A and B are shown apart, each in its own frame.
Chain A
Amino acid sequence: MRSRFSIFASIAAILFFALVAVFGASRPASFLRSGAVGIAGPFARAAGRAGVWLGFGAESFSIGRIRALEEEAGRLAAAEARALALEKENESLSQSLGLRTGFGASLKSARVLQYQSSLGRETLVIDLGSDDGAAEGDIVIDEKRLLIGEIREAGIGFSKVAVASNPGITFSGVLVPLGGEVLAKGIGARALVLELIPSDVPVRSGDFVIWTREDQRGNPAVFAGRVAGSVAAGSGTFKTGHAVLLSDPERTDRVMVMSRQ
């Protein structure tokens, strides 16, 4: 009798979880996931905050240093228009309304429910889901207009954000202040590889990488990374470098989601 019950329970469990795994995007599964995030989210968030308090992470990149760079970038023709727009909007950086005015109606605010780093990948869970207009591929920035990452999965009432330095994440960028388009790839541990740097573009340690996308041209710049170390001279037309992600996802309480226009 007990063994029959055990077999029945095992089969029921396999069927249940197989259905949840296969139909993960369906409404019932999304509600289950929203429930799990809602119940365990505060516990996870508290643990993350305790970790940040205990931790030995690097000091957060300050708004003061970003402004100093913006003033330098404004002097150069390649980034002059964006730098002037940044200078005008500096005062409203921390206000969501000011940020929305700069980026247009496609910017939505969200609260970070938890931060996790596991198997070399960092993930944020935010409280903005597909029912609020979030979609896979939307870019997420913090209140300092630093790139956090992109939405990997949008559920009902929540979304999972993959940090931009995770392995497998790739985005287009522009070097500041000297210009030049690059392809930035995440390699984990907050590091980015900069590829396809034209060999005639000078790149210095300390230069910045701005995230770009075709439908976002004309919007205020989103800073992604800072060039670190020397740039390796390639044998062909391009060279390769490295950068460090500027944002601190583990310390972020609120983010902004940029939807595709």
Chain B
Amino acid sequence: MMQQRYMIVLIGGTLASAFFIERLAAGAAAGRLFIPPLSLLAVLAWFPALPLSWRIWLGGGAGFLADSFGDFRFGAAILLMIFLALLTGFFRSIISDRRPLFAKGAIAACLMGSFFLLVPLAAKIAVSISV
């Protein structure tokens, strides 16, 4: 129970920090630099260390926040993060965990790459399914 609370605080702190830094960088760069969605990438970095239900709730919540504040079509980030939460299991099954830290880093990198590849598709799906 203590470990769960510790994890929740750590994940919440990471998400809040990434959210803050993303907007700080956006204000500083004033549209002249490419700013990646740091809050979503921070959540993806946590996915390999979390069980499935945690990943879906965390990913859905972060996606909801990104859809509410960002230029994503509403629903796109939510659907994408939930899909990536499920995809984590697939990457876990194909990446060897002989060196756990390296394996988690590799899975996180695969998820981030998948995120950038799937963003346009998620936007189109969100447009077609929204009521």
Contacts and interface: CB of A to CB of B under 8 A. Distances in A.
Co-complex (A, B): yes
B78 A21 contact: yes
Contacts of A122: 26, 31, 71
A170 to B, nearest CB: 16
A36 interface: yes
A23 B131 contact: yes
A152 B70 CA distance: 11
A165 B23 contact: no
Interface string B24-42: 1111111111111100000
Which of B22, B31, B70 has the most chain A CB within a 10 Å cutoff? B31
Contacts of A79: none
A51 B74 CA distance: 26
Interface residues of B, number: 44
A25 to B, nearest CB: 7
A118 B28 contact: no
B30 A118 contact: no
A16 B60 contact: yes
B82 interface: yes
B130 interface: yes
A235 to B, nearest CB: 32
A13 B57 contact: yes
B130 A21 contact: yes
Contact-residue size bin, chain A (C-beta under 8 Å from the other chain): 35 or more
Given A21-B75, A25-B130, A117-B35, A54 B68 contact: no
B19 interface: yes
A115 to B, nearest CB: 6
Interface stretch (B4-12, B48-56, B97-105, B106-114): B48-56
Prevailing SS type, chain B contact patch: helix
A50 B32 contact: no
B46 interface: no
Contact of B74 (A21, A166, A250): A21
Nearest to B76: A21
Contacts of A22: 75, 129-131
Nearest to A113: B69
A123 B57 contact: no
A134 to B, nearest CB: 15
Pairs of residues from A and B, 7 with the lowest C-beta to C-beta distance, nearest first = A51-B27, A57-B30, A21-B75, A55-B28, A47-B23, A17-B60, A9-B53
Interface of B: 16, 19-37, 51-53, 56-57, 60, 63-65, 67-71, 74-75, 78-79, 82, 119, 126, 129-131
Given A33-B74, A122-B31, 8 more contacts: A21-B79, A24-B67, A51-B28, A52-B30, A55-B28, A116-B70, A118-B26, A250-B30
Interface of A: 6-7, 9-10, 13-14, 16-18, 20-26, 32-33, 36-37, 40, 43-44, 47-58, 114-123, 125, 152-153, 160, 162-163, 165-166, 188-190, 248-251
